[in-house]
Amino acid sequence: MPDTPKHPPFKLIGKNYTTPDLVAKVTGKAKYAEDYRADGMLFAKLLLSPIPHARVRKIDASAALAMPGVKAILTADDMPKPADALTDLGARIPANPLGERGLTNEPVYQGEPILAVCAVDELTCAEAIEKIRIDFERLPHAIDPLETLRPGTPNARVEGNVWIRPPVPKGQQAPPPQVKELKWAEADFAEIEHGRLPMGKLHPDGVDVAPQSDEWSFGDVDEGLKKADLVLDETFTTPNTSHQTLETRTAMAYWQNGKVYVHCSTQSTQPTAPAIARWLGLVDDKGQPDVSRVVIISEYTGGGFGSKITSAISAIIPAILSKKTGAPVMMRVSREEEHFIGRARPSIQGRLKVGFTKEGKITAVDMFVILDNGPYDPQGDANNSGRMLSLMYQPPAMRWRGVTVLTNTPPRLSQSQPGGFQGIALMEPVMSKASRKLGIDQVALHRMNAPEGKAPIGAAPPGGKRAYVTSAYIKEALDRGSEMFEWERRKAMPKRSGTKARGIGVATSCFVGGSVGFDGLFIIKPDGRITVQSGIGNLGTESVTDSHRVVAEVLDIPWEKVEVVWGNTSKNLPNSAPSGGSQTTHAMTRAAWATAHDAKKKLQEIAAKDFGGNPEDYEVARERVFRKGGGSGMTLAQAAKRAIELGGVYDGHEVPAGISPYTKASVQALAGQGLLAVAKDTMPRDGVTHSYVAGFAEVEVDLETGKYRIVDYMAVADVGTIIHPRSLGGQILGRSTLGIGHAIGQKWVYDSHYGIALAKRFHYNKPPTILDVPAKMTWDALDIPDPETPVGARGIGEPPVGAGCCAILNALSDALGDDIFRRAPVNPDTILASLEAGRPMQEQFTAHI
Amino acid sequence: MPEANTGDTPKGLSRRNVIKGVIAAGAVSGAAYLFRGSMVRAGGAAAGSVERLVTLNVNGRERRVDVMKQETLATTLRYKLGLTGTKLGCDRSECGACTVLIDDVPHYSCSILTHTARGKNIVTIEGLAAADGTLHPVQQGVIDEQGFQCAFCMPGFIMATVGFLKVNPNPTREELAHGISGNLCRCQDYDKILTAMMRGAQLSRT
């Protein structure tokens, strides 16, 4: 193996420290959205649709409005039209006329908010809601994605049952996606009898779709399968799982001097202002969101996992009610309501045909997926499942096909490793089975098919070349993990002991690990201290301060002299990465690096002005700028005073070209306070940034009850340079456990006749508790810097999920063989029934059982 | 302000109607969770009714507070006494975010009627640190280990741990895990939480 890169020794990067938000958290002083109060604050409550699909014919709220204490009622007619949205990676999706508006006159899932009542307190709201009479026209509903593809079945929306992406006219923005009706032939469904997923048409006949939107390929798949020594044709189903953030999407809002102040729960701070502005219809004459009229306050957020990337559309309900009533309005969202409006990961039913040589090398993958999209915006999970599979297992040839089906179930949204998780979860059972069929060790099989270096990903765009990643060292992670986990020793242990069976499993997983192009902003104050403006959200990952350790590292200033300002968009923040898609650590350490070098350059220039010579003759260290090799120099405090005297670019009175208008406004507001450092990350990057995790698990199954326990779990991450070990460890094991939840129990259960959710809240839709995982879990990270980013750090929020889930699934198969399960989660009753029958007994093709 | 707050049992909010409301609208998750801004009516309590103005001992202080008979302790703490460190994650004994100590025993304050806590010592997360700001050993354990991520569950976990350590001051990791298994963390940061709580247990003994 070639030598791997090493990063230089760091003083702060890679070291543990106490984050500045922690004392407030342990003393209960940290304020989340629901903890704010405002004088004269009113309350709001939602009326949710009791049925999965209907049209509101008439709302009679007269009795409610006549009640003392009731201030206003908000219906869909009061809501702004659907607005553009930001993707996980910050790109804009044009408004979808069939998108959500927060309230609706055509509920498309049980629990969709129809109206909101605002009153002096919540009990009055609840009383008022009881007095409201709604005349519904019931419409047919669809709960099961496969069922709605059968001829003659109902559609989830009046317009149809599948999303398609129309072709993009030359030189224009992509038009909004469209809903069409797609029905397969009855004969297509004969595959179900053989335990295989039916594979019908991808879109209705006569409908044009954008190239590669529902099918792409590279290499010669047919040839690859033909020359394979082993071809597996496997169908697997992943679960729908609610994000279930512990803090619901509660929000409080008020207006002052034409500005709306929104206290909300959000993963990102700065990027939430434009999102809320757009949802509220606050746009300037160019159609851009008018962020000057929105202030977001979110110092602490109680979890997001992809469900609150820029807060939630429900946050505009108290904002509009506040405008209507002229008073602050708090809308607390209950756990019951959160189940419906709190977002979820979409299930994928997938079929994979995979060819292997007898040595274990993958020759080709033919992949077909059906995405259970819910009723609203099309999610990227179907496409991403194929893309991540293509990276993780490096097939030389692959075809991906996907159908995105609408159902009358709660709206879906990106959840940690969106699509990537499903792709890994579809493929890992195939890897596990191939390992047994071919007699090849699980680790060896993963290793020989793993990406290395600038490995290719996805299909080439029309007329272009395949994209490739910045780096991949997952093979090293597998090597280190096998050693730490004592894989060989565990492998040699007996699989049976009385009524217990044990098994070990390994899984590899990957996802996007960073974006580029954001801004940094900080000031060296005349007292020699640094104030960093952080637009990053504080959702618990600690990237809100971790990223800025880079500033102190580059300038060689003690961390104690750095203050981080965060959590309030009125505090002059820079254009920052949305905290979604694991982009923050990569994007914002780059921005911090660029900005620290802007400060360094300004310090050197100031020294050269005062002491003569060239700026390059000076260096910055130990809180000083001084002539190299000793001699004249000044402290950072003195340099900050000089910067104010010099003005111009030095103290922010002159704004450099190229930075975002949002950052520019913040620079102008902060000008004159010291040496102002501001920069946009324009540094080159060769490849697309991805991160990787290898997960290892041992399970023990009780053959008499089907119950199993996780004996051990360990994960090794390839995420570049380690910035903050403790927060990294929390992410690796925390996200692994989120994945483990998908293996051991989380799912939805529906009454499909009435379209009503049966498993709601925490108790019936239970995420892992502290007793579901081993009391001691282990993690490690390679700490090999990514060569395409200056500090070398990549994001970690996503890849542990697939590794966690699939290490458990593969360990179960190692213990019990191939004929136990065909879908996740795997419950004790599945194991027991299948063991007794000698074949998989869990119904495979019905959703939500 | 003669509106809305005319009594502690809202007219028309009978049990039957609440149940109907849940079925019809799916919106109401039990009246006890709902916040009622309240004003004390003139005159004493009617015969057979519960006194509304009660005294609670919270974090070592006597607090006079106006409480409806169906009000939960979590609501009283958060909305009447301004102690927002106690979090509501589920409002129905599923998550433990609202855990407080009542006479040294951890309880879900979302599922305790405030009236039943009269005459007892209630301790919330705000009451753990010493008056001079010195943190409780379990709080210090979190600082030492950078425990928890989003920390919305943290007050509940800390209170559950403090309560558990009173009966088992020297637990193993497994014992402590059992002791605090009534608390849910959605960041699923259990390993680091246990490490921090074990550190807190160690500091509590020294």
Q: Strand pairing of A750-751 and B53-58?
A: unpaired
DSSP class of A630:
S
Give residue-wise pLDDT tens across range B126-138: 999 999 999 999 9
Hey, are the CB atoms on B5 and A69 less than 8 Å from each other? yes
What span, in angstroms and rounded, lies between the C-alpha atoms of A337 and B25?
A: 11
CB A551 within 8 A of CB A532: yes
Confidence of residue B29 (pLDDT cuts 50, 70, 90): very low
Cite the beta strand spans of A681-761 per DSSP E.
Answer: 690-702, 708-718, 750-751, 756-757
Which among A42, A181, A184, A50 is positioned nearest to A107, based on CA atoms?
A: A50
DSSP B46-76: PTTSPPSEEEEEETTEEEEEE--TT-BHHHI
pLDDT of residue A171: 74
Q: Which of A65, A120, A130, A776 is the best substitution to test chain B (most B C-beta atoms within 10 A)?
A: A130
pLDDT of residue B19: 39
Can you give the pTM of this predicted structure?
A: 0.94
Collapsing DSSP to helix, strand or coil, A340 comes out as helix
* Chain-centre distance for alpha carbon A222: 35
Q: Tell me the two tokens of residue B8.
A: 């502690």
Which among A449, A587, A453 is positioned nearest to A512, based on CA atoms?
A: A587
Residue type, position A721, single letter = T
pLDDT of residue B40: 37
Collapsing DSSP to helix, strand or coil, A394 comes out as coil
What span, in angstroms and rounded, lies between the C-alpha atoms of A842 and A825?
A: 11
Axis-axis angle for helices A272-279, A316-325 (nearest 10): 60
Complex-level ipTM: 0.96
CB B105 within 8 A of CB B163: yes
Print the SS3 string covering A137-199. EECCCCCCCCHHHCCCCCCCECCECEEECCCCCCCCCCCCCEEECCCCCHHHHHHHHHCCCCC
Whether the bond between A825 and the residue before it is cis, its omega within 30 degrees of 0, is yes
Run of H or E including A230: strand A230-237
Which among A557, A536, A541, A465 is positioned nearest to A218, based on CA atoms?
A: A465
pLDDT of residue A85: 62
Report in angstroms the alpha-carbon separations of A727 from A87, A722, A783, B192. Answer: 25, 10, 14, 9
Which among A75, A123, A129, A117 is positioned nearest to B21, based on CA atoms?
A: A129
Q: ∠ at Cα A485 (A15, A390), nearest 5°?
A: 85
pLDDT of residue A139: 98
Hey, are the CB atoms on B192 and A540 less than 8 Å from each other? no
Report in angstroms the alpha-carbon separations of A806 from A418, A426, A545, A825. Answer: 15, 9, 32, 11
- The set of residues, in sequence order, having a beta carbon less than 8 Å from that of A560 and lying 6+ positions away, is none
DSSP A104-148: -SS--STT-EEEEEEESSHHHHHHHHHH-EEEEEE------TTGG
DSSP A456-500: EESPPPTTS--EEBS---HHHHHHHHHHHHTHHHHHTS-SEETTE
Q: Tell me the two tokens of residue A291.
A: 């962020």
Run of H or E including A362: strand A362-372
Collapsing DSSP to helix, strand or coil, A381 comes out as helix
DSSP class of A720:
B
What span, in angstroms and rounded, lies between the C-alpha atoms of A330 and A262?
A: 10
Axis-axis angle for helices A725-744, B190-205 (nearest 10): 120
DSSP A274-330: HHHHHHTT-B-TTS-B-GGGEEEE-S-----TTS-BTB-GGGHHHHHHHHHHTS-EE
Hey, are the CB atoms on B190 and A122 less than 8 Å from each other? no
Axis-axis angle for helices B154-167, B137-145 (nearest 10): 130
CB A39 within 8 A of CB A330: no
Q: Strand pairing of A215-218 and A398-405?
A: antiparallel
Hey, are the CB atoms on A126 and B2 less than 8 Å from each other? no
Q: Does B89 touch chain A (CB under 8 A)?
A: yes
Backbone angles phi, psi at A843, to 5 degrees: -55, 130
Q: Which residues of A729-742 are buried (b: 16+ CB within 10 A; e: fewer)?
A: bbbbbbbbbbbbbb
Which chain A residue lies closest to B174 (C-alpha atoms)? A775
pLDDT of residue A96: 86
Print the SS3 string covering B102-167. ECCEEEEHHHCEHHHHCCCEEECHHHCCCCCCCCCHHHHHHHHHCCCCCCCCHHHHHHHHHHHHHH
Q: Tell me the two tokens of residue A377.
A: 């915006």
Collapsing DSSP to helix, strand or coil, A772 comes out as coil
DSSP class of A793:
B
Q: Does B69 touch chain A (CB under 8 A)?
A: no
What span, in angstroms and rounded, lies between the C-alpha atoms of B140 and B200?
A: 6
Report in angstroms the alpha-carbon separations of A680 from A597, A657, A689, B4, B88. Answer: 11, 10, 18, 54, 40
Q: Strand pairing of A42-48 and A329-331?
A: parallel
The answer on pLDDT for B12 being more than 80 is: no
Give residue-wise pLDDT tens across range A386-425: 999 999 999 999 999 999 999 999 999 999 999 999 999 9
What span, in angstroms and rounded, lies between the C-alpha atoms of A35 and B79?
A: 9
Residues on chain B touching A800 (C-beta within 8 angstroms)? none
Residues on chain A touching B154 (C-beta within 8 angstroms)? 25-26
Which among A600, A606, A591 is positioned nearest to A521, based on CA atoms?
A: A591
Give residue-wise pLDDT tens across range B142-184: 999 999 999 999 999 999 999 999 999 999 999 999 999 999 9
Interface of B with A in 162-201 (CB under 8 A): 173-174, 177-178, 180-181, 183-194
Residues on chain A touching B158 (C-beta within 8 angstroms)? 26
Q: Which residues of A689-726 are buried (b: 16+ CB within 10 A; e: fewer)?
A: bbbbbbbbbbbbbbbeebebebebbbbbbbbbbbbbbb
pLDDT along chain A (849 residues), means of 10: 83 98 97 97 98 98 97 97 63 81 97 98 97 98 98 98 94 88 98 96 97 97 98 98 98 97 97 94 83 97 97 98 98 97 98 98 98 97 98 98 98 98 98 98 98 98 96 98 98 96 98 97 98 97 97 98 98 96 95 98 98 97 94 96 98 96 96 98 98 98 97 98 98 98 96 94 93 98 98 97 98 96 96 94 92
What span, in angstroms and rounded, lies between the C-alpha atoms of B2 and A69?
A: 9
What span, in angstroms and rounded, lies between the C-alpha atoms of A147 and A145?
A: 5
What span, in angstroms and rounded, lies between the C-alpha atoms of A21 and A567?
A: 11
Which chain A residue lies closest to B173 (C-alpha atoms)? A775
What span, in angstroms and rounded, lies between the C-alpha atoms of A373 and A379?
A: 7
pLDDT of residue B11: 43
Hey, are the CB atoms on B95 and A246 less than 8 Å from each other? yes
Residues on chain A touching B20 (C-beta within 8 angstroms)? 130
Hey, are the CB atoms on A775 and B185 less than 8 Å from each other? no
Q: Strand pairing of A259-264 and A294-297?
A: parallel
pLDDT of residue B52: 86
Which chain A residue lies closest to B86 (C-alpha atoms)? A28
Hey, are the CB atoms on A771 and B181 less than 8 Å from each other? yes
pLDDT of residue B42: 39
pLDDT of residue B31: 58
In angstroms, the separation between the Cα of residue A411 and the nearest Cα of chain B is 17
Q: Strand pairing of A294-297 and A70-75?
A: unpaired
